[in-house]
Amino acid sequence: MYGLIGKFTAHPGKRDDLVACMIGEETSMPGCLSFVVAVDPQDANAVWVTEVWTDQAAHQASLTIPAVKASIERAMPLIAGMSDRHELEPVGGIGLVQA
């Protein structure tokens, strides 16, 4: 499995708009086992994203899906910065079923 955890900082007052872009309308992403968007109660502009994929290739392929590309294009102007990006190798957990 392949995992990513990252922190996005929205421009002031744009966090909810950024969350809406990240959640989007796309519900079919082959190879996606988990995609969680969370707001940070300690930082009014921070959004954390946690992703688990069957493998890195599935993650890369998701970036070519038209709805995902459109969501990224809408989100980019709302992002002031990105930090704390970590690539991981998930090994399991509650709710995470290995494909």
Tens digits of residue pLDDT in 71-87: 899 999 999 999 889 99
Tens digits of residue pLDDT in 16-64: 999 999 997 767 789 999 999 999 999 999 999 999 999 999 999 999 9
> Could you tell me the pLDDT band of residue 99, with boundaries at 50, 70 and 90?
low
Task: Give CA separation, 81 vs 11, 18, 31, 69, 76, in Å.
Answer: 8, 12, 27, 19, 10
50: amino acid identity, one letter: T
Tens digits of residue pLDDT in 2-21: 999 999 999 999 999 999 99
Q: Which of 27, 34, 26 is nearest to 2 (CA)?
A: 34
Task: Say yes or no: domain 2-84 is CATH 3.20.20.80.
Answer: no
